[in-house]
Amino acid sequence: MIVTALRILFIALTLLLATIGVHAEGTASVFLEELTWTELKSQVEAGKTTIIVPIGGTEQSGPYMALGKHNVRAKLLAEKIARGLGDALVAPVVAYVPEGAIAPPTSHMRFPGTITVSDDIFEKTLESAARGFKQHGFRDIVLLGDHGGYRADLKIVADTLNREWANTSARAHALPEYYLTTQEDFVQFLESRGYTKDEIGQHAGLADTSLMLALDPHMVRTGQLKTAAKPSAQQGVVGDPRRASAELGQAGVDAVLKNTIDAIKKATARR
């Protein structure tokens, strides 16, 4: 009986894994790094000429959210945006961004684990990557920044590239809708539900944490959060994440997707 039961279990697991494999193979990846160069070439030639560059950042987000918050969020949202557009692929996440000075440490660099680079190196990295994408046939390079601290850098990069590409069909885009939706539309939604600005916060508060719970709850220490006292700025938190939820975060995710997809379609439309 035991042997028979084990044999049945083995067959069931084999069928399950086969089903998973078929599903995985049947779902085309939008991530550039998961394609071969021949697959990428074919997709670009078939019309996928928009490349989304998700830009995150490795920084502290208080005691209850992991350091890679921006990187994970940028990648997951970029994938959803690319699939919503239908003619876009997603570049590898840029995880090294300006986060403050090193000596003496400023901003998030005051907390262990945060990684920083200079604005100049950050901008030159994006410029170089964008020129490479243009070389490979992409016509629209969309810089998607999940962090507000380098928005000015993204505009500088896009303006520099567009001056350089003035007589070509390629364009770089530093669209504000992706980030501003989390700071405006989502905040207004939360306020309409009775949450205060102090609770919603600007960093690792209710809004920030809810977005992460909706996208990848493993990044949030929910067990500790439920029993925590109100976090403080000394802990790297501006806001109060204790009532954060995936349900609230999903409303923010939906708004980001709609506004960003609409903005990219408008920006990449050709007369």
The closest alpha carbon to 218, from 78, 85, 66, belongs to 66
Tokens of 246: 């995936």
Q: What pLDDT was estimated at residue 4? A: 55
129 in any annotated domain: yes
19 in any annotated domain: no
The closest alpha carbon to 123, from 146, 147, 148, 94, belongs to 94
pLDDT block averages, 10 residues each, the chain of length 271 = 52 47 60 97 97 98 98 98 98 98 96 98 98 98 96 98 97 97 98 97 97 98 93 96 98 98 94 50
Please tell me the distance from the alpha carbon of residue 51 to that of residue 39, in angstroms, as a whole number.
15
Bond from prior residue into 104 cis (ω within 30 degrees of 0)? yes
Tokens of 79: 């994938």
9 in any annotated domain: no
Q: What pLDDT was estimated at residue 1? A: 52
Q: What pLDDT was estimated at residue 161? A: 98
Residue whose tokens read 């067959």: 11
The closest alpha carbon to 61, from 201, 263, 192, belongs to 201
State the chain's maximal CA–CA distance in angstroms. 76
14 in any annotated domain: no
Please tell me the distance from the alpha carbon of residue 21 to that of residue 19, in angstroms, as a whole number.
5
Residue 190 per-residue DSSP state: H
Q: Report the domain count for the chain.
A: 1
146 Rama class: left (phi>0) / alpha (psi -120 to 50) / beta: alpha
The closest alpha carbon to 187, from 157, 210, 165, belongs to 210
Beta bridge partners of 53: 143
Could you report the per-residue pLDDT of 3-14, keeping only the tens digit for each? 455 455 554 554
CATH for 117: 3.40.50.10310
Sheet holding 88-90, edge to edge: 88-90, 50-55, 140-145, 171-173
The residue segments making up the domain with residue 227 are 28-268
How many Cβ atoms are within 10 Å of 270's Cβ, its own excluded?
A: 7
Q: What pLDDT was estimated at residue 128? A: 98
CB 147 within 8 A of CB 97: yes
pTM: 0.89
23 in any annotated domain: no
24 Cβ neighbours under 8 A, 6+ residues apart: none
CB 84 within 8 A of CB 36: no
CB 116 within 8 A of CB 99: yes
Q: What pLDDT was estimated at residue 2? A: 54
Residue whose tokens read 């599903």: 23
Q: What pLDDT was estimated at residue 226? A: 87
The closest alpha carbon to 181, from 82, 239, 251, 246, belongs to 251
